[in-house]
Amino acid sequence: MNVSSEKVDLKNLSPGELQKFLVSFGKERYRSTQILRWLYQKGVESFEEMTNLSKKFRKELSQISYLSTLSPLYIEQARDGTKKFLFQLEDGNRIESVLIPDKTRLTLCLSTQVGCAFGCRFCLTGKMGWKRDLSTSEILNQILAVRKTLPEKRAITNIVLMGMGEPLANFENTLRAIELMHHPDAFKFSSRRVTLSTVGLLPELERLAKEHIAFRLAISLNASDEKTRSQLMPINRRYPLKMILEWCQNFPLKPRDRITFEYVMLDGKNDSAEDAKRLLKILKGIPSKVNLIPLNEAPEIPFKRPSEEKVRQFQEILMKGGLTAIIRASKGQEISAACGQLQGKPPP
């Protein structure tokens, strides 16, 4: 669908904004409920399909607004069932989403930016640099486009905002998208099924806490001391580990909720027994879970993946210290769909 600069893409509007938009054209408020259901529950791609709206109303809508869509350029499937979707946006930029099957779950990992400005040294997306933020509709259209490829009885169960980009650096669009993920007339994902992963942008985290936005929080930690984290993640110079941990200590979590800490394991850099012990110490008092992600190696990345034994020893130290630590199997590695491997490139 072509973008008209005059018309409004309805998928860029939050439920409240959609209602206001319709009321400003003299329509009833309940019309927004009808339209939300068509867009996100039925996944229609044209106004003609909205059959409970009169023909006249549909025509009026098409004069002032449009519905953007995305369709995958390529879909690659790995042996473990993980699928990577490559999408081309209206301006020619490319992004990726990854669908990860796991027993009863079907998790979709979404991108929120084209590239990323944060330059974490173990991440290929970071090597691309930042090109632009995705609009709300570009974030949501990834869900709709992937859902369309699924067999009728298979549903996406979980959303993770961990693809290309730092979600909190695209704050407004990410929040609007999360609102629609949860909304009862839109996608209806419960707050436990949407996870946002961040490098720890403190002002934005503060804002989230104030606005009571419900989702699971994952913080990309990757080191247990300031020096190593600053070497791996330049953002640590602006928002040091100490400040992030203090923020986590004070964050009012709901009962049974925990903060997930992502820890990409790099051979000889952050995988020693001392690192594990220090990690235990700094996470003390924070209801937390640690995801250990052995590095997905790439020629452009100056680190190696630790041996399985080393990863297991690291996990054991954390578990003995009372921390839940899960080794994340690297899904989709051979199609470059695993953590830190997204670059928006077609298959070779």
- Name the minimum Å distance from CB 9 to ligand SF4: 25
**What is the size of the binding site for ligand SF4 (CB under 6 A)?**
12
- Tokens standing for residue 64: 């002032």
**In Å, what is the CA distance from 249 to each residue of 36, 89, 285, 321?**
38, 40, 7, 18
- Judged by beta carbon, residue 65 or residue 112, the one nearer ligand SF4 is 112
Is there binding between residue 120 and ligand SF4 (CB under 6 A)?
Answer: yes
Amino acid at the residue 347: P
Shortest spacing between CB 185 and ligand SF4, in angstroms: 31
Residue whose token pair is 């995958």: 72
Q: Which one, 40 or 122, has the nearer CB to ligand SF4?
A: 122
- Active site (annotated) includes residue 123: no
Contact 124, 301 (CB under 8 A): yes
Interface region with ligand SF4, contact rule CB under 6 A, candidates 47-55, 113-121, 146-154, 328-336:
113-121
Q: How far apart are CA 101 and CA 103, in angstroms?
A: 7
Neighbours of 336 (CB within 10 A): 21
Choose between 70 and 116: whose C-beta lies nearer to ligand SF4: 116
Active-site annotation holder among 76, 96, 166, 204: 96
Six token digits for residue 72: 């995958």
Binder of ligand SF4 out of 35, 95, 123, 186 (CB under 6 A)? 123
Of 18, 67, 116, 292, the residue at the interface with ligand SF4 (CB under 6 A) is 116
Instruction: Classify 249 as helix, strand or coil.
Output: helix
Compute the least distance from the CB of residue 70 to ligand SF4, in Å.
20
Whether the CB-CB separation of 300 and 124 falls below 8 Å is answered with yes
Question: Known catalytic residue: 6?
Answer: no
Q: How many helices (H) and strands (E) does the chain have?
A: 11, 14
Q: Is 118 in the site for ligand SF4 (CB under 6 A)?
A: yes
Q: How far is CA 338 from the centre of its chain?
A: 13
CB of residue 258 to ligand SF4, shortest distance in Å: 21
Phi-psi region of 340 (alpha: psi -120 to 50; beta: other; left: phi over 0): left
Residue with Cβ nearer ligand SF4 (22 or 292): 292
Q: Give the footprint of ligand SF4 on residues 306-345 (CB under 6 A).
A: 340
168-204 CB burial, b ≥16 within 10 A, e <16: bbbbebbbbbbbbbbbebbbebeeebbbbbbbbbbeb
* Binders of ligand SF4 in range 161-180 (CB under 6 A): 165-166
Q: What is the DSSP letter of 169?
A: G
Residues within window 212-241 making contact with ligand SF4, judged by CB under 6 A: 220
Choose the catalytic residue: 109, 116, 248, 339.
Answer: 339
Residue 261 touches ligand SF4, criterion: CB under 6 A: no
Find the binder of ligand SF4 among 36, 199, 221, 290 (CB under 6 A). Answer: 199
Contact 114, 89 (CB under 8 A): yes
Please count the CA atoms within 13 angstroms of the CA of 23 that sit on its side-chain side.
9
The three-state secondary structure class of 17 is helix
- For the CB of residue 197, give the shortest distance to ligand SF4 in the complex, in Å: 7
Contacts with ligand SF4 by CB under 6 A lie at 116, 118-120, 123, 125-126, 165-166, 199, 220, 340
Catalytic residue numbers, as ranges: 96, 339
